[in-house]
Structure 1
Amino acid sequence: MKALKIAALLSILATGTAFAQSNPAPAATPDNSATTVAMSNAPQQVGTWVPPTGQAVAPKTRAEVYGELVQAEKDGQLAYLNSTVYAHP
């Protein structure tokens, strides 16, 4: 039984390190003006999500989110979601 626990622990450690990944150093790229134009002016952070459009999305303020919530309540979007998606049978 003790050997089984040790074997399980070793297999967990072996597979855990097999999937570990470090951020590779960025490769040196030639200075292409076409590449520079296509990129946004926002500084790129390694490991961050980029939307499919390639443009950085600015975070919303609490006031903007609250305004969207009020608008969704007024135009019926929130009631529709509550009656369809969030309805509990």
Structure 2
Amino acid sequence: MKALKIAVLLSILATGTAFAQTNPATAATPVNSTTTLAMSNATPQVGTWVPPNGQAVAPKTRAEVYGELVHAEKDGQLAYLNSTVYAHP
């Protein structure tokens, strides 16, 4: 029984280190210098998503969202979504 516990402990320790990764920033070499320059100028905040091109997306105001809603109602996009995607059979 003691040998089984030791074997399990060793297997956990062995597999835990098998998934260790290197730092991708130091391991990868930049292919395109303009992409690297654009990404280095951006100042990402911790916990926020940054698109692949490195340009931060500005949040929309309530007026902009309301304007898109009115446009979608007039355009017929909301009616189409309600009849297809959001329709409950």
- What is the TM-score when the length of structure 2 is the normalising length? 0.54
Spell out, residue by residue over 1:39-80, the C-alpha distance to the aligned partner (whole angstroms, 9 max, x if none).
275532122111233210000000000000000000100000
- Tell me the equivalent position of 2:82: 82
Q: Tell me whether 1:48 sits opposite 2:48 in the alignment.
A: yes
| Partner Cα distance (1:40, 1:70) in 2 | 38
Q: Which runs of 5+ in 2 are unaligned?
A: 1-25, 27-32
> More helix per residue: 1 or 2?
2
- Tell me the equivalent position of 1:67: 67
Q: Percent identity?
A: 88
| Partner Cα distance (1:35, 1:79) in 2 | 41
Inter-CA distance 40–65: structure 2 relative to 1 (3 Å threshold): farther
Two-structure CA RMSD over aligned residues (Å): 2.7
Q: Is the 8 A contact 1:73 1:79 kept in 2?
A: yes
Inter-CA distance 69–38: structure 2 relative to 1 (3 Å threshold): same
- What is the TM-score when the length of structure 1 is the normalising length? 0.54
Q: Is the 8 A contact 1:40 1:55 kept in 2?
A: no
**Is the radius of gyration larger for structure 1 or structure 2?**
2
Q: Give the 3-state SS of the residue equivalent to 2:72 in structure 1.
A: helix
Q: Which runs of 5+ in 1 are unaligned?
A: 1-26, 28-32
The runs of 4+ residues in structure 1 deviating greater than 6 Å are: none
